[in-house]
Structure 1
Amino acid sequence: MIAFTIQQLECWTQIKSHTLRVWEQRYKAFSPKRNGRQHRLYEPDDIQRALCLSLLTLHHSLTAQLAALPLSDLKARTRLLITASQPLTYHVVELLMAIVDNDADGFRQLLQANWHRVGGLVTLRKLILPFLQRLEDVWGSGLETVEEWASSRVILEQHLVDCTDRLPSPWRMAERYMIVQAKPGGFQLLPQIAHYLLLSQGYAVARPVLHESAELTPEALQSYRPKYVVAVLSGWPARSLVQSYIDQLVSLCTPAQVLLTGDRITGQDISVPEGAGLLHRIEELI
Protein backbone atom coordinates (compact mmCIF):
# COMPACT_ATOMS: atom_id res chain seq x y z
CA MET A 1 0.00 0.00 0.00
CA ILE A 2 1.21 3.53 -0.79
CA ALA A 3 2.36 5.54 2.24
CA PHE A 4 2.50 9.33 2.29
CA THR A 5 4.62 11.74 4.30
CA ILE A 6 3.04 14.71 6.04
CA GLN A 7 4.62 16.96 3.39
CA GLN A 8 2.82 14.98 0.69
CA LEU A 9 -0.43 15.15 2.66
CA GLU A 10 0.02 18.94 2.72
CA CYS A 11 0.40 18.95 -1.07
CA TRP A 12 -2.81 16.96 -1.52
CA THR A 13 -4.91 19.10 0.80
CA GLN A 14 -3.24 22.54 0.78
CA ILE A 15 -3.52 22.37 4.59
CA LYS A 16 -0.31 23.33 6.38
CA SER A 17 1.51 20.49 8.10
CA HIS A 18 1.30 22.15 11.53
CA THR A 19 -2.49 22.30 11.16
CA LEU A 20 -2.59 18.64 10.14
CA ARG A 21 -0.64 17.78 13.30
CA VAL A 22 -3.19 19.70 15.39
CA TRP A 23 -6.02 17.81 13.70
CA GLU A 24 -4.28 14.56 14.56
CA GLN A 25 -3.22 15.34 18.13
CA ARG A 26 -6.18 17.39 19.35
CA TYR A 27 -9.06 15.91 17.36
CA LYS A 28 -7.76 12.41 16.49
CA ALA A 29 -8.59 12.96 12.81
CA PHE A 30 -5.81 10.57 11.72
CA SER A 31 -3.84 7.71 13.19
CA PRO A 32 -0.68 7.64 11.06
CA LYS A 33 1.88 4.90 11.38
CA ARG A 34 5.53 5.69 12.02
CA ASN A 35 8.61 4.57 10.15
CA GLY A 36 11.94 3.68 11.71
CA ARG A 37 12.79 7.36 12.14
CA GLN A 38 9.40 8.03 13.76
CA HIS A 39 8.20 10.06 10.76
CA ARG A 40 4.46 9.98 10.17
CA LEU A 41 3.22 7.78 7.31
CA TYR A 42 -0.32 8.29 6.05
CA GLU A 43 -2.45 5.80 4.12
CA PRO A 44 -4.84 6.59 1.24
CA ASP A 45 -7.81 6.69 3.65
CA ASP A 46 -6.00 9.45 5.58
CA ILE A 47 -5.69 11.43 2.34
CA GLN A 48 -9.43 11.00 1.78
CA ARG A 49 -10.25 12.12 5.32
CA ALA A 50 -7.99 15.15 5.02
CA LEU A 51 -9.49 16.15 1.67
CA CYS A 52 -13.01 15.92 3.09
CA LEU A 53 -12.08 17.92 6.18
CA SER A 54 -10.32 20.55 4.07
CA LEU A 55 -13.72 21.41 2.56
CA LEU A 56 -15.96 20.83 5.56
CA THR A 57 -13.85 23.10 7.77
CA LEU A 58 -14.44 25.97 5.35
CA HIS A 59 -18.01 26.04 6.70
CA HIS A 60 -17.71 24.55 10.19
CA SER A 61 -15.07 24.50 12.89
CA LEU A 62 -13.40 21.16 13.30
CA THR A 63 -14.66 19.27 16.34
CA ALA A 64 -13.72 15.93 17.82
CA GLN A 65 -17.16 14.66 16.81
CA LEU A 66 -16.65 15.65 13.15
CA ALA A 67 -13.09 14.31 13.07
CA ALA A 68 -14.23 10.97 14.50
CA LEU A 69 -16.84 10.30 11.80
CA PRO A 70 -16.26 7.24 9.61
CA LEU A 71 -14.77 8.01 6.21
CA SER A 72 -18.04 7.06 4.48
CA ASP A 73 -19.92 9.70 6.51
CA LEU A 74 -17.28 12.33 5.80
CA LYS A 75 -17.55 11.59 2.08
CA ALA A 76 -21.36 11.84 2.22
CA ARG A 77 -21.20 15.21 3.99
CA THR A 78 -18.61 16.45 1.53
CA ARG A 79 -20.77 15.48 -1.45
CA LEU A 80 -23.78 17.24 0.08
CA LEU A 81 -21.70 20.37 0.59
CA ILE A 82 -20.41 20.27 -2.99
CA THR A 83 -23.92 19.72 -4.37
CA ALA A 84 -25.36 22.57 -2.32
CA SER A 85 -22.55 25.05 -2.96
CA GLN A 86 -21.64 24.21 -6.56
CA PRO A 87 -18.37 26.18 -6.87
CA LEU A 88 -16.19 24.34 -9.34
CA THR A 89 -13.18 24.68 -7.07
CA TYR A 90 -14.89 22.29 -4.64
CA HIS A 91 -15.02 19.66 -7.37
CA VAL A 92 -11.21 19.70 -7.44
CA VAL A 93 -11.41 17.73 -4.18
CA GLU A 94 -13.72 15.19 -5.83
CA LEU A 95 -11.25 14.66 -8.66
CA LEU A 96 -8.40 14.19 -6.21
CA MET A 97 -10.43 11.71 -4.19
CA ALA A 98 -11.21 9.74 -7.35
CA ILE A 99 -7.48 9.49 -8.07
CA VAL A 100 -6.73 8.26 -4.55
CA ASP A 101 -9.53 5.68 -4.95
CA ASN A 102 -8.14 4.70 -8.36
CA ASP A 103 -11.70 5.28 -9.59
CA ALA A 104 -11.19 5.92 -13.30
CA ASP A 105 -14.92 5.75 -14.11
CA GLY A 106 -15.80 8.19 -11.36
CA PHE A 107 -13.03 10.53 -12.50
CA ARG A 108 -14.37 10.48 -16.07
CA GLN A 109 -17.97 11.03 -14.95
CA LEU A 110 -17.01 14.03 -12.82
CA LEU A 111 -15.26 15.67 -15.77
CA GLN A 112 -18.14 14.99 -18.14
CA ALA A 113 -20.85 16.10 -15.70
CA ASN A 114 -19.21 19.46 -15.08
CA TRP A 115 -18.40 19.89 -18.77
CA HIS A 116 -22.08 19.49 -19.65
CA ARG A 117 -23.27 21.60 -16.70
CA VAL A 118 -21.21 24.76 -17.16
CA GLY A 119 -19.49 24.30 -20.53
CA GLY A 120 -16.01 23.40 -21.64
CA LEU A 121 -14.23 26.72 -21.23
CA VAL A 122 -15.50 27.36 -17.69
CA THR A 123 -14.69 23.77 -16.67
CA LEU A 124 -11.22 24.14 -18.12
CA ARG A 125 -10.44 27.40 -16.36
CA LYS A 126 -12.15 26.87 -13.01
CA LEU A 127 -11.88 23.13 -12.47
CA ILE A 128 -9.24 21.46 -14.62
CA LEU A 129 -6.53 24.10 -14.32
CA PRO A 130 -6.77 24.37 -10.49
CA PHE A 131 -6.80 20.58 -10.37
CA LEU A 132 -3.65 20.40 -12.51
CA GLN A 133 -1.93 22.97 -10.34
CA ARG A 134 -2.67 20.83 -7.28
CA LEU A 135 -1.43 17.74 -9.11
CA GLU A 136 1.77 19.53 -10.01
CA ASP A 137 2.46 19.94 -6.29
CA VAL A 138 1.60 16.30 -5.63
CA TRP A 139 3.82 14.93 -8.42
CA GLY A 140 6.58 17.28 -7.35
CA SER A 141 6.50 15.78 -3.84
CA GLY A 142 7.77 12.48 -5.24
CA LEU A 143 4.54 10.76 -6.31
CA GLU A 144 4.78 11.19 -10.07
CA THR A 145 5.61 7.52 -10.67
CA VAL A 146 2.64 5.93 -8.88
CA GLU A 147 1.38 3.54 -11.54
CA GLU A 148 -2.08 3.16 -10.00
CA TRP A 149 -2.90 6.75 -10.96
CA ALA A 150 -1.76 6.57 -14.56
CA SER A 151 -5.29 5.87 -15.83
CA SER A 152 -6.60 9.15 -14.42
CA ARG A 153 -3.83 11.10 -16.13
CA VAL A 154 -4.58 9.40 -19.45
CA ILE A 155 -8.33 10.03 -19.06
CA LEU A 156 -7.75 13.71 -18.35
CA GLU A 157 -5.58 14.24 -21.42
CA GLN A 158 -7.93 12.24 -23.66
CA HIS A 159 -10.95 14.13 -22.35
CA LEU A 160 -9.37 17.44 -23.31
CA VAL A 161 -8.37 16.16 -26.72
CA ASP A 162 -11.85 14.74 -27.39
CA CYS A 163 -13.53 17.99 -26.37
CA THR A 164 -11.24 20.32 -28.31
CA ASP A 165 -13.74 20.82 -31.12
CA ARG A 166 -16.35 22.10 -28.65
CA LEU A 167 -14.13 24.92 -27.47
CA PRO A 168 -14.05 28.43 -29.00
CA SER A 169 -11.81 28.74 -32.02
CA PRO A 170 -8.82 30.34 -30.22
CA TRP A 171 -8.41 27.17 -28.16
CA ARG A 172 -8.67 24.92 -31.21
CA MET A 173 -5.81 26.86 -32.77
CA ALA A 174 -3.48 25.18 -30.26
CA GLU A 175 -3.47 22.08 -32.42
CA ARG A 176 -1.42 23.88 -35.04
CA TYR A 177 1.52 24.26 -32.68
CA MET A 178 4.17 22.04 -31.19
CA ILE A 179 5.18 23.64 -27.89
CA VAL A 180 8.69 22.91 -26.65
CA GLN A 181 10.63 23.97 -23.60
CA ALA A 182 14.36 24.42 -23.20
CA LYS A 183 16.09 21.96 -20.89
CA PRO A 184 19.76 21.20 -20.23
CA GLY A 185 21.19 19.95 -23.49
CA GLY A 186 18.23 20.61 -25.77
CA PHE A 187 14.46 20.93 -25.97
CA GLN A 188 11.61 18.72 -24.81
CA LEU A 189 8.10 18.42 -26.20
CA LEU A 190 5.38 19.55 -23.87
CA PRO A 191 2.36 17.23 -23.70
CA GLN A 192 -1.03 18.10 -25.18
CA ILE A 193 -2.22 19.49 -21.86
CA ALA A 194 0.45 22.19 -21.96
CA HIS A 195 -1.21 23.74 -25.01
CA TYR A 196 -4.29 24.53 -22.97
CA LEU A 197 -2.31 25.66 -19.95
CA LEU A 198 -0.17 28.05 -21.97
CA LEU A 199 -3.13 29.54 -23.79
CA SER A 200 -5.04 30.09 -20.56
CA GLN A 201 -2.26 31.19 -18.22
CA GLY A 202 0.34 32.84 -20.40
CA TYR A 203 3.82 31.77 -19.42
CA ALA A 204 3.03 30.73 -15.84
CA VAL A 205 3.41 27.02 -16.56
CA ALA A 206 7.04 26.37 -17.38
CA ARG A 207 7.22 22.58 -17.28
CA PRO A 208 5.16 19.52 -18.22
CA VAL A 209 2.41 18.74 -15.75
CA LEU A 210 1.15 15.23 -16.35
CA HIS A 211 4.06 13.21 -17.61
CA GLU A 212 7.61 13.46 -18.83
CA SER A 213 7.91 14.48 -22.45
CA ALA A 214 10.02 13.33 -25.36
CA GLU A 215 12.95 15.29 -26.71
CA LEU A 216 12.60 17.48 -29.76
CA THR A 217 14.38 15.60 -32.55
CA PRO A 218 14.25 15.63 -36.35
CA GLU A 219 12.25 12.40 -36.10
CA ALA A 220 9.68 14.03 -33.80
CA LEU A 221 9.28 16.96 -36.20
CA GLN A 222 8.83 14.58 -39.10
CA SER A 223 6.20 12.65 -37.15
CA TYR A 224 4.13 15.61 -35.87
CA ARG A 225 4.63 17.96 -38.84
CA PRO A 226 3.60 21.11 -36.90
CA LYS A 227 2.99 24.37 -38.68
CA TYR A 228 4.84 26.21 -35.91
CA VAL A 229 7.20 25.21 -33.13
CA VAL A 230 6.69 27.50 -30.13
CA ALA A 231 9.81 27.56 -27.94
CA VAL A 232 9.11 28.63 -24.35
CA LEU A 233 12.32 30.05 -22.91
CA SER A 234 11.36 30.61 -19.27
CA GLY A 235 13.41 29.65 -16.25
CA TRP A 236 15.93 27.82 -18.45
CA PRO A 237 18.39 28.34 -20.05
CA ALA A 238 20.60 30.83 -18.30
CA ARG A 239 20.46 34.17 -20.05
CA SER A 240 24.00 33.75 -21.35
CA LEU A 241 22.93 30.56 -23.15
CA VAL A 242 19.75 31.87 -24.78
CA GLN A 243 21.36 32.60 -28.14
CA SER A 244 22.93 29.16 -28.40
CA TYR A 245 19.57 27.54 -27.68
CA ILE A 246 17.87 29.62 -30.36
CA ASP A 247 20.56 28.63 -32.85
CA GLN A 248 20.12 24.97 -31.89
CA LEU A 249 16.37 25.17 -32.42
CA VAL A 250 16.72 26.76 -35.83
CA SER A 251 19.10 23.98 -36.83
CA LEU A 252 16.26 21.49 -36.19
CA CYS A 253 13.42 23.47 -37.79
CA THR A 254 13.05 25.85 -40.65
CA PRO A 255 13.22 29.44 -39.33
CA ALA A 256 9.69 30.08 -40.59
CA GLN A 257 8.43 27.40 -38.19
CA VAL A 258 10.02 28.93 -35.10
CA LEU A 259 8.14 31.18 -32.67
CA LEU A 260 10.09 32.33 -29.59
CA THR A 261 8.52 33.40 -26.33
CA GLY A 262 9.20 33.60 -22.59
CA ASP A 263 10.94 35.77 -20.04
CA ARG A 264 14.42 34.65 -21.11
CA ILE A 265 14.15 36.54 -24.37
CA THR A 266 12.27 39.62 -23.17
CA GLY A 267 14.51 42.65 -23.26
CA GLN A 268 17.55 40.62 -24.22
CA ASP A 269 20.00 41.54 -26.93
CA ILE A 270 19.49 38.43 -29.00
CA SER A 271 19.59 37.79 -32.71
CA VAL A 272 16.31 36.34 -33.96
CA PRO A 273 17.00 34.33 -37.12
CA GLU A 274 15.49 35.78 -40.27
CA GLY A 275 12.05 34.33 -40.79
CA ALA A 276 11.54 33.31 -37.15
CA GLY A 277 8.90 34.97 -34.99
CA LEU A 278 9.11 36.62 -31.58
CA LEU A 279 6.05 36.53 -29.31
CA HIS A 280 5.72 39.02 -26.48
CA ARG A 281 2.18 37.91 -25.64
CA ILE A 282 0.78 34.42 -25.80
CA GLU A 283 -2.37 35.83 -27.44
CA GLU A 284 -0.31 36.46 -30.55
CA LEU A 285 -0.58 32.74 -31.23
CA ILE A 286 -4.24 33.11 -32.12
Structure 2
Amino acid sequence: MINSSYNVKSIFSIKDLENLSGIKAHTIRIWEKRYNILEPMRSDTNIRNYDLKSLQKLLNVVLLNDYGYKISRIAEHSSEKIEILVREIISEKNTKNHALNAFKMAMINFDQALFFNTYNNLLAEKSFRDVFYEVVVPLMEEIGLLWQAGTISPAQEHFISFLIKQKLLLNTEKLQILEPTRTDKVFVLYLPENEIHELALMYLNYEILLNGYKTIYLGESVPIESLKDMKKYFDTIVYVSYLTVEPTKEAINGYVQEFKTEIIDENSEVRFLGRMVEFIDNKVKSDQIQVFNSIADFVEDL
Protein backbone atom coordinates (compact mmCIF):
# COMPACT_ATOMS: atom_id res chain seq x y z
CA MET A 1 0.00 0.00 0.00
CA ILE A 2 1.44 3.37 -0.97
CA ASN A 3 1.26 6.15 1.57
CA SER A 4 -0.62 8.97 -0.11
CA SER A 5 1.65 11.55 1.52
CA TYR A 6 4.57 10.33 -0.58
CA ASN A 7 5.19 12.13 -3.85
CA VAL A 8 5.69 8.89 -5.77
CA LYS A 9 5.46 8.64 -9.52
CA SER A 10 2.11 6.97 -10.08
CA ILE A 11 1.35 7.65 -13.75
CA PHE A 12 3.32 5.89 -16.49
CA SER A 13 3.51 6.21 -20.24
CA ILE A 14 3.43 3.15 -22.46
CA LYS A 15 7.17 3.73 -23.03
CA ASP A 16 7.70 3.50 -19.27
CA LEU A 17 5.83 0.18 -19.27
CA GLU A 18 8.01 -1.04 -22.12
CA ASN A 19 11.19 -0.10 -20.25
CA LEU A 20 10.09 -1.66 -16.96
CA SER A 21 8.59 -4.87 -18.35
CA GLY A 22 10.86 -5.54 -21.32
CA ILE A 23 7.77 -5.94 -23.54
CA LYS A 24 7.59 -3.75 -26.65
CA ALA A 25 4.96 -1.01 -26.64
CA HIS A 26 3.49 -2.48 -29.84
CA THR A 27 2.94 -5.82 -28.08
CA ILE A 28 1.42 -4.13 -25.03
CA ARG A 29 -1.05 -2.35 -27.32
CA ILE A 30 -1.99 -5.67 -28.97
CA TRP A 31 -2.53 -7.34 -25.58
CA GLU A 32 -4.59 -4.37 -24.52
CA LYS A 33 -6.76 -4.25 -27.64
CA ARG A 34 -7.18 -7.96 -28.21
CA TYR A 35 -7.31 -9.30 -24.65
CA ASN A 36 -8.13 -6.27 -22.44
CA ILE A 37 -5.06 -7.06 -20.36
CA LEU A 38 -4.81 -3.39 -19.32
CA GLU A 39 -7.23 -0.52 -19.15
CA PRO A 40 -5.31 2.69 -19.84
CA MET A 41 -6.36 6.14 -18.82
CA ARG A 42 -6.52 8.49 -21.77
CA SER A 43 -5.66 12.17 -21.87
CA ASP A 44 -7.70 14.81 -23.69
CA THR A 45 -5.44 14.20 -26.69
CA ASN A 46 -6.03 10.42 -26.46
CA ILE A 47 -2.56 9.58 -25.12
CA ARG A 48 -2.43 6.38 -23.06
CA ASN A 49 -1.32 6.59 -19.43
CA TYR A 50 -1.21 3.82 -16.83
CA ASP A 51 -1.37 3.67 -13.03
CA LEU A 52 0.68 1.57 -10.59
CA LYS A 53 -1.91 -1.21 -10.58
CA SER A 54 -1.57 -1.51 -14.36
CA LEU A 55 2.21 -1.68 -14.07
CA GLN A 56 2.03 -4.38 -11.40
CA LYS A 57 -0.48 -6.37 -13.43
CA LEU A 58 1.66 -6.15 -16.56
CA LEU A 59 4.74 -7.38 -14.67
CA ASN A 60 2.70 -10.33 -13.36
CA VAL A 61 1.33 -11.08 -16.83
CA VAL A 62 4.85 -11.06 -18.30
CA LEU A 63 6.05 -13.46 -15.58
CA LEU A 64 3.22 -15.90 -16.30
CA ASN A 65 3.85 -15.61 -20.03
CA ASP A 66 7.56 -16.36 -19.46
CA TYR A 67 6.54 -19.56 -17.68
CA GLY A 68 4.41 -20.79 -20.57
CA TYR A 69 0.96 -19.34 -19.91
CA LYS A 70 -0.69 -18.13 -23.10
CA ILE A 71 -1.86 -14.53 -23.10
CA SER A 72 -5.38 -15.62 -24.08
CA ARG A 73 -5.51 -17.84 -20.98
CA ILE A 74 -4.07 -15.17 -18.66
CA ALA A 75 -6.66 -12.68 -19.94
CA GLU A 76 -9.47 -14.90 -18.65
CA HIS A 77 -8.35 -14.28 -15.05
CA SER A 78 -8.88 -11.34 -12.72
CA SER A 79 -5.91 -9.38 -11.38
CA GLU A 80 -6.37 -11.18 -8.05
CA LYS A 81 -6.26 -14.61 -9.70
CA ILE A 82 -3.19 -13.59 -11.70
CA GLU A 83 -1.44 -12.68 -8.43
CA ILE A 84 -2.34 -16.12 -7.00
CA LEU A 85 -0.89 -17.86 -10.09
CA VAL A 86 2.29 -15.82 -9.75
CA ARG A 87 2.66 -16.82 -6.08
CA GLU A 88 2.21 -20.48 -7.03
CA ILE A 89 4.91 -20.21 -9.67
CA ILE A 90 7.45 -18.51 -7.45
CA SER A 91 6.91 -21.12 -4.74
CA GLU A 92 7.67 -23.87 -7.23
CA LYS A 93 10.24 -22.42 -9.62
CA ASN A 94 13.07 -19.95 -9.99
CA THR A 95 12.19 -16.66 -8.30
CA LYS A 96 14.58 -14.47 -10.30
CA ASN A 97 12.04 -12.70 -12.51
CA HIS A 98 9.59 -12.15 -9.68
CA ALA A 99 12.35 -10.75 -7.47
CA LEU A 100 13.49 -8.39 -10.22
CA ASN A 101 9.94 -7.10 -10.58
CA ALA A 102 9.57 -6.74 -6.82
CA PHE A 103 12.82 -4.78 -6.56
CA LYS A 104 11.66 -2.48 -9.38
CA MET A 105 8.34 -1.87 -7.63
CA ALA A 106 10.21 -1.19 -4.37
CA MET A 107 12.35 1.36 -6.21
CA ILE A 108 9.40 3.10 -7.85
CA ASN A 109 7.41 3.26 -4.59
CA PHE A 110 10.37 4.01 -2.27
CA ASP A 111 9.25 0.88 -0.42
CA GLN A 112 12.00 -0.30 1.95
CA ALA A 113 9.86 -3.07 3.43
CA LEU A 114 9.29 -4.63 -0.01
CA PHE A 115 13.02 -4.46 -0.76
CA PHE A 116 14.01 -6.17 2.49
CA ASN A 117 11.26 -8.80 2.30
CA THR A 118 12.24 -9.68 -1.27
CA TYR A 119 15.93 -9.79 -0.39
CA ASN A 120 15.39 -11.94 2.72
CA ASN A 121 13.15 -14.37 0.82
CA LEU A 122 15.89 -14.80 -1.78
CA LEU A 123 18.54 -15.25 0.90
CA ALA A 124 16.48 -18.02 2.50
CA GLU A 125 16.99 -20.07 -0.69
CA LYS A 126 20.30 -18.83 -2.12
CA SER A 127 23.74 -17.73 -1.01
CA PHE A 128 24.51 -14.00 -0.87
CA ARG A 129 26.67 -14.30 -3.99
CA ASP A 130 23.95 -16.12 -5.93
CA VAL A 131 21.40 -13.47 -4.95
CA PHE A 132 23.67 -10.72 -6.22
CA TYR A 133 24.98 -12.53 -9.28
CA GLU A 134 21.60 -13.82 -10.46
CA VAL A 135 19.26 -11.00 -9.43
CA VAL A 136 20.96 -7.82 -8.24
CA VAL A 137 23.56 -7.55 -11.03
CA PRO A 138 20.83 -7.72 -13.72
CA LEU A 139 18.86 -5.20 -11.64
CA MET A 140 21.87 -2.84 -11.53
CA GLU A 141 22.19 -3.07 -15.30
CA GLU A 142 18.48 -2.32 -15.72
CA ILE A 143 18.63 0.62 -13.31
CA GLY A 144 21.20 2.33 -15.52
CA LEU A 145 19.05 1.90 -18.60
CA LEU A 146 15.85 2.99 -16.81
CA TRP A 147 17.57 6.12 -15.51
CA GLN A 148 18.99 6.89 -18.94
CA ALA A 149 15.53 6.51 -20.50
CA GLY A 150 13.94 8.80 -17.92
CA THR A 151 11.63 6.05 -16.62
CA ILE A 152 12.99 6.44 -13.08
CA SER A 153 14.24 9.56 -11.35
CA PRO A 154 17.70 10.09 -9.83
CA ALA A 155 16.01 9.93 -6.40
CA GLN A 156 14.65 6.45 -7.13
CA GLU A 157 18.05 5.32 -8.40
CA HIS A 158 19.78 6.64 -5.25
CA PHE A 159 17.15 5.03 -3.02
CA ILE A 160 17.59 1.51 -4.39
CA SER A 161 21.34 1.90 -4.78
CA PHE A 162 21.75 2.80 -1.11
CA LEU A 163 19.80 -0.29 0.01
CA ILE A 164 21.94 -2.51 -2.23
CA LYS A 165 25.12 -0.83 -0.94
CA GLN A 166 24.12 -1.67 2.61
CA LYS A 167 23.97 -5.37 1.78
CA LEU A 168 27.23 -5.25 -0.17
CA LEU A 169 29.10 -3.49 2.62
CA LEU A 170 27.92 -5.97 5.24
CA ASN A 171 29.05 -8.97 3.22
CA THR A 172 32.24 -7.38 1.93
CA GLU A 173 33.38 -6.71 5.49
CA LYS A 174 33.17 -10.43 6.25
CA LEU A 175 35.74 -11.07 3.51
CA GLN A 176 37.99 -8.12 4.35
CA ILE A 177 38.91 -9.54 7.75
CA LEU A 178 40.31 -12.70 6.11
CA GLU A 179 43.93 -13.03 5.03
CA PRO A 180 44.35 -13.11 1.22
CA THR A 181 45.16 -16.56 -0.15
CA ARG A 182 46.50 -15.24 -3.48
CA THR A 183 49.35 -12.77 -3.11
CA ASP A 184 50.81 -12.48 -6.63
CA LYS A 185 48.97 -9.19 -7.25
CA VAL A 186 46.87 -6.51 -5.58
CA PHE A 187 43.69 -5.06 -7.10
CA VAL A 188 43.15 -1.31 -6.84
CA LEU A 189 39.54 -0.30 -7.54
CA TYR A 190 38.61 3.26 -8.40
CA LEU A 191 36.31 5.46 -10.49
CA PRO A 192 37.63 8.27 -12.75
CA GLU A 193 37.10 11.94 -11.98
CA ASN A 194 33.41 12.98 -12.01
CA GLU A 195 32.27 9.34 -12.04
CA ILE A 196 30.10 8.65 -9.00
CA HIS A 197 28.19 5.45 -9.93
CA GLU A 198 30.08 3.04 -7.69
CA LEU A 199 27.59 0.21 -7.11
CA ALA A 200 29.07 -2.06 -9.77
CA LEU A 201 32.61 -1.30 -8.58
CA MET A 202 31.60 -2.27 -5.05
CA TYR A 203 30.34 -5.60 -6.33
CA LEU A 204 33.58 -6.18 -8.26
CA ASN A 205 35.44 -5.54 -5.00
CA TYR A 206 33.36 -8.25 -3.32
CA GLU A 207 34.04 -10.76 -6.13
CA ILE A 208 37.79 -10.11 -6.12
CA LEU A 209 37.94 -10.56 -2.34
CA LEU A 210 35.91 -13.75 -2.69
CA ASN A 211 38.59 -15.03 -5.07
CA GLY A 212 41.24 -14.60 -2.40
CA TYR A 213 42.99 -11.40 -3.50
CA LYS A 214 43.84 -8.28 -1.55
CA THR A 215 41.93 -5.21 -2.72
CA ILE A 216 42.40 -1.49 -2.17
CA TYR A 217 39.10 0.30 -2.70
CA LEU A 218 39.57 4.00 -3.51
CA GLY A 219 36.00 4.76 -4.62
CA GLU A 220 34.67 7.56 -6.76
CA SER A 221 36.24 10.44 -8.67
CA VAL A 222 39.94 9.53 -8.41
CA PRO A 223 42.41 11.47 -10.63
CA ILE A 224 45.05 9.49 -12.53
CA GLU A 225 47.74 11.42 -10.67
CA SER A 226 46.55 9.96 -7.36
CA LEU A 227 46.90 6.41 -8.66
CA LYS A 228 50.66 6.82 -9.05
CA ASP A 229 51.05 6.72 -5.28
CA MET A 230 49.93 3.08 -5.19
CA LYS A 231 53.22 2.01 -6.77
CA LYS A 232 55.06 3.11 -3.64
CA TYR A 233 53.27 0.44 -1.65
CA PHE A 234 52.69 -2.53 -3.97
CA ASP A 235 54.86 -4.29 -6.55
CA THR A 236 52.25 -5.80 -8.88
CA ILE A 237 48.99 -3.93 -9.32
CA VAL A 238 45.81 -4.55 -11.30
CA TYR A 239 43.73 -1.38 -11.52
CA VAL A 240 39.99 -1.90 -11.99
CA SER A 241 37.55 0.83 -13.04
CA TYR A 242 33.88 0.90 -13.99
CA LEU A 243 33.04 3.62 -16.53
CA THR A 244 29.31 4.41 -16.48
CA VAL A 245 29.21 8.01 -17.71
CA GLU A 246 32.81 9.25 -17.41
CA PRO A 247 35.04 9.72 -19.29
CA THR A 248 32.64 10.70 -22.08
CA LYS A 249 32.84 8.93 -25.41
CA GLU A 250 34.70 11.93 -26.84
CA ALA A 251 37.30 11.86 -24.04
CA ILE A 252 37.65 8.16 -23.27
CA ASN A 253 40.45 7.27 -25.69
CA GLY A 254 42.53 10.20 -24.51
CA TYR A 255 41.92 9.04 -20.93
CA VAL A 256 43.04 5.47 -21.71
CA GLN A 257 46.12 6.77 -23.51
CA GLU A 258 47.00 8.98 -20.52
CA PHE A 259 46.52 6.01 -18.20
CA LYS A 260 48.83 3.94 -20.38
CA THR A 261 51.51 6.66 -20.33
CA GLU A 262 51.30 7.63 -16.67
CA ILE A 263 50.44 4.37 -14.88
CA ILE A 264 51.06 1.24 -16.92
CA ASP A 265 54.47 -0.43 -16.62
CA GLU A 266 55.81 -3.98 -16.57
CA ASN A 267 54.26 -4.56 -13.13
CA SER A 268 50.81 -3.05 -13.64
CA GLU A 269 47.72 -3.45 -15.77
CA VAL A 270 44.18 -2.10 -15.91
CA ARG A 271 40.77 -3.64 -16.49
CA PHE A 272 37.91 -1.42 -17.64
CA LEU A 273 34.19 -2.24 -17.49
CA GLY A 274 30.97 -0.27 -17.88
CA ARG A 275 28.83 1.32 -20.57
CA MET A 276 31.55 3.63 -21.87
CA VAL A 277 34.02 0.84 -22.76
CA GLU A 278 32.31 0.33 -26.12
CA PHE A 279 33.89 3.62 -27.21
CA ILE A 280 37.46 2.51 -26.42
CA ASP A 281 39.39 2.19 -29.68
CA ASN A 282 41.29 -1.05 -30.27
CA LYS A 283 44.37 1.05 -31.03
CA VAL A 284 44.75 2.06 -27.39
CA LYS A 285 44.17 -1.42 -25.98
CA SER A 286 47.04 -3.77 -25.15
CA ASP A 287 47.75 -6.92 -23.15
CA GLN A 288 47.94 -4.70 -20.07
CA ILE A 289 44.77 -2.76 -20.90
CA GLN A 290 41.81 -5.14 -20.92
CA VAL A 291 38.18 -4.31 -21.58
CA PHE A 292 35.31 -6.45 -20.29
CA ASN A 293 31.77 -6.15 -21.62
CA SER A 294 30.11 -7.55 -18.50
CA ILE A 295 30.70 -8.30 -14.84
CA ALA A 296 30.25 -11.99 -15.63
CA ASP A 297 33.13 -11.89 -18.12
CA PHE A 298 35.33 -10.15 -15.57
CA VAL A 299 34.54 -12.64 -12.80
CA GLU A 300 35.17 -15.59 -15.12
CA ASP A 301 38.62 -14.17 -15.91
CA LEU A 302 39.68 -13.88 -12.25
| Conserved 8 A contact 2:161-2:199 | no
| Conserved 8 A contact 2:143-2:157 | no
How far apart in 1 are the matches of 2:267 and 2:195?
A: 16
Residue aligning to 1:178: 189
How far apart in 2 are the matches of 1:265 and 1:244?
A: 10
SS of 1:230's equivalent in the other structure is strand
Offset from partner CA, 1:71-105 (integer Å, 9 cap, x none): x4432321221111134344322322333444311
Q: CA deviation at 1:36?
A: 4.6
Change (3 A) 1:83 1:155: same
Offset from partner CA, 1:85-126 (integer Å, 9 cap, x none): 134344322322333444311211221231242112221221
Residue aligning to 1:152: 160
SS of 2:60's equivalent in the other structure is helix
Residue aligning to 1:140: 148
Residues 1:38 and 2:46 aligned together = yes
Residue aligning to 1:203: none
| Conserved 8 A contact 2:19-2:151 | no
Residue aligning to 2:200: 193
- Select 1:69's aligned residue among 68, 71, 78: 78
How far apart in 2 are the matches of 1:117 and 1:254?
A: 43
TM-score (norm 2): 0.65
Q: CA deviation at 1:154?
A: 1.7
Q: 1:1-286 residue pairs with structure 2 within 5 A?
A: 1-57=9-65, 58-63=67-72, 66=75, 69-70=78-79, 72-145=80-153, 147=155, 150-165=158-173, 177-181=188-192, 188-196=195-203, 215-216=221-222, 230-231=240-241, 242-243=253-254, 246-247=257-258, 259-262=269-272, 267-268=282-283, 278-279=289-290, 282=298
- Aligned residue type for 1:216: V
Gaps of 5+ in 2: 1-8, 208-218, 228-233, 293-297
- Aligned residue type for 1:242: N
Q: CA deviation at 1:48?
A: 0.2
| Conserved 8 A contact 1:129-1:197 | no
How far apart in 1 are the matches of 2:105 and 2:135?
A: 14
How far apart in 2 are the matches of 1:151 and 1:239?
A: 30
Residue aligning to 2:231: none
How far apart in 1 are the matches of 2:74 and 2:291?
A: 55
How far apart in 2 are the matches of 1:9 and 1:256?
A: 50
Q: CA deviation at 1:279?
A: 4.2
How far apart in 1 are the matches of 2:224 and 2:97?
A: 41
Q: CA deviation at 1:132?
A: 2.4
- Aligned residue type for 1:40: R
SS of 2:283's equivalent in the other structure is coil
TM-score (norm 1): 0.68
Offset from partner CA, 1:23-66 (integer Å, 9 cap, x none): 21122221212235432111111110000000112332123774
Change (3 A) 1:243 1:140: closer
How far apart in 1 are the matches of 2:300 and 2:283?
A: 19
Gaps of 5+ in 1: 201-212
SS of 2:46's equivalent in the other structure is coil
SS of 1:178's equivalent in the other structure is strand
| Conserved 8 A contact 1:180-1:231 | yes
How far apart in 2 are the matches of 1:271 and 1:52?
A: 46
How far apart in 2 are the matches of 1:76 and 1:215?
A: 47
Offset from partner CA, 1:133-177 (integer Å, 9 cap, x none): 33333222203326467533321221122122456989xx9x963
Cα RMSD after superposing both structures: 4.6
Change (3 A) 1:25 1:196: same
Residue aligning to 2:211: none
